[in-house]
Chains A and B, each alone.
Chain A
């Protein structure tokens, strides 16, 4: 069964099965019924973390250091708890910005820097190459082991020529499969559904086969866990296996190893690919947080038993502990199990290689080659060639190159050390990304220069303290390099920098590289300024959990939708480009997806779609070549941000102010109107008074002059004229008095002597005073003033003034023949009421309105000009109003007029007096 041909056939069959699963997964995805949209599939895909290192290497490590293999699995378990914060944020950010690799993530965070992206890609490739070579070594060694069965002694490594080295063919075959798996299409999201399905499947295969071997050893070869441990304890070197301080690790070693694996579970390119890029739904994390550690537990349960079992079984037989897992079944003649185990190991190795190679090729093409091409021949590249083929070709070439590099490292440095050690070198390499990435998502102050400095220095230290020594151990560098340092400078000895002793190689390297990396990252970031793009990207990343959308504002430029569509089409094909833009248009409700001006958000969207294919930094360049963009300086960005917040504040302020202004304006207008009115009234008043004063003065002057100039005037004429003069002086006096009176009352300067007065008495007094006037007019005055009308609080003189005014008016206007005037005193609604009725011609409605105005007198239609100043009624009304009453007139034209006024009774007590009838 373990013939080479059979083994080969079985291997290819298995790989074919994986491929079939992948193909099926892709087909289902295209049909819309994705099979990987389950959290359990997601969690299983994360188990690509377990490679042949886990399958073979941990047993090897356990055989030499006991539980010293554990930190590598403790780390991820601990990290799983932190995933909720760290990984979720990374996933959120990556989805929002269509980030497709670690290099893309770092580049995007630090202002879409192509330099940084390229550096990360280089570090990743260099760092992972040892890891890949580890897989190649595992496959080829286990294959050899199978071939030489039942002899399980470690194959002696003879220097084989290139063409007969199985590892080379393994590398090439793996390259071919990787290309088939991952580079058939250029997807905007860089997702490979089929691949994820295949990986999940192979995780199950790994677990099942390992557990099978474990059970076989524990329960088949031995009598259970207890038996294994007992038998192992009897071994000479057993003690060190059961203590934590085994080998050269120590507590410090444990710490560094745990930290390393904590970082690796997120930062390894293949882990980033399956955990972030291939993630379908953020919520799948919830299940993965406990499912993945469970998987690790399950696959590690039998590591120690197998190791101890192997030690016991192969004591002194020179079997490489790394391959106990396979050797044990072979030694016991379990060929079928052995083949299964081989396939399990193959599965673990190929899973890793495929995913890692795909991830690395994406990084290399997006962040190394494309930017370089763009920079070198921008004009040529942006012309309408089929760039899709170019990008795919670059990726395929990269995959082959990486695998060949892995093979090369295997030849140069991979024979000597244990599998685990090689793997840890890679872990330490990717750990250099930690400050830039973790700092990038939690600290807005991290700058591009800081990241560059930290990454570059950390990588350099890593290369110096880990990579070179590995070459040295394989004989490519003299031993003295390790022992005494370069050029004999002991302080620079790669494994004891500056005399630091007591740490194993990995811990030592981690200490120095992290020190330099973090130190420079923080230090340079604090000292350097961020560009505008960095600033906005930093905010986007760190605030990923807070901010729903951002960034579209911070762009000014003009682009046409047609141009953008053409650009997109060159990378994803015309149909997909059209679909993408149509989807965007329908989502955002814009019909103008045909040659119109594109707004900032559309440009960003297209840029993101492109980034899926060629990386964020390159996408930026391509889009910039299409749109006329105005680069924004940092001040401008800050300005725009400030402006926006200021504008918001100002507009609120403005609203408030304008409301206040409206209110004030309305008030002002009203006041102005009132003032105008008053002004007009004042003008009128002054004008009228002037006229009224001048009129009597005119005749006074005229007659005075006449009398002076005509001494021979007849006596009767002289008398007549003088009498007129005297009359006019009286008229003048009356007018002046009244004007003054009215002014005083109106301005509130009059003095009021309020006392309780008896209206009946006042009326009778007034009647007596005007008796003469009535006699002259030959008119009759009748007074009905009953007793018992309560006292009124008023100024007696003023009330008398009113009465005189009303009575004299009545006398003037009553009928010429048999004129009658009647005065009545009564009580009405708690007030005293006086009516003065005449039987004159009455007043028109207009007159009734007009007579209370100053200087206006009723009866303009009358031929005889009435006497009087025209101020009497206004004054009377003012007086009555001031005393708390009302004065009005009621009249029917042709049947006299009645002037009435009321005054409130002193105590509001009605005496119940009814107006008397007569």
Chain B
């Protein structure tokens, strides 16, 4: 391959990668032109991201202290860092976009990497006994909810006459885990890049309000921490948004929301295999495709960070039961602080990567499908959460 070809491929890969970063990259950023020093822009982007992270950290501590004793004091006390992080991310998005810098720095805003690393670290704060205890209801909930929401979305989008490949992307994104699922489904069904961009945009547009809505609604409905976590984990599409909402609801809801979401993530491979088989049979591609790629597809689609999450939980549980209790608490406390930093940076990235651009291309039908499926997801998710998690104790 010539250098020119290699450069072109690298450029395409970068654009694709940004779209895949997925939880939040609805539009692929413009490829840097020769002579624009993309590495320098990436480094500047990282510096900006870290600066915004420090700003969020400061706001989280400063606002409650500064407003103590005032009418806003009680409200400020209850506002968790995801709120500041997302708002700061949106504000920085507007400023950097106005200055023409956002797309140049976009390689630094890796929401998916940051959230997954944060979730691996989160595994260290969850006793493996809780994961083992929660596994059965989480798997049952994931199977039932994914099936119900996927089939509804597939049916309703067919009713509106959407293309089968877009139907597969929308159904996967809503029922499993947002853009990661859409990316996996796009690979399985050979969807168009613009279809992936529409789906990614819709995921973020619907997830951001849910971050605030579900913790509030859970409080209004008087749901227990486990039911709250299961509802959040089962309903919000993107893993990053689930973590943000769970954090706002509390530590126990966050643990259950994460376990539920991670279980859905783990089932992504199964759905990708089924979609591959369906579309391979439907299009009658090369003979033999119906069986050979299934195991490979399953492994490729399996989110590897789930393994890290489980290993972290096992290691930390064994460590905590064998090491000096004071040192163990301190060491796991440091891991929790690191987790918080990764989540702050991930939530800031959500705001930084947000773009309405692709939505203009999508038209009203995918939006209607997403809205209807979200309502179904909310209702079925709440029912399953109450039935499966009502008696769960930590």
Q: Do A and B come from the same complex?
A: no
Contact surface of A with B, Cβ cutoff 8 Å:
none
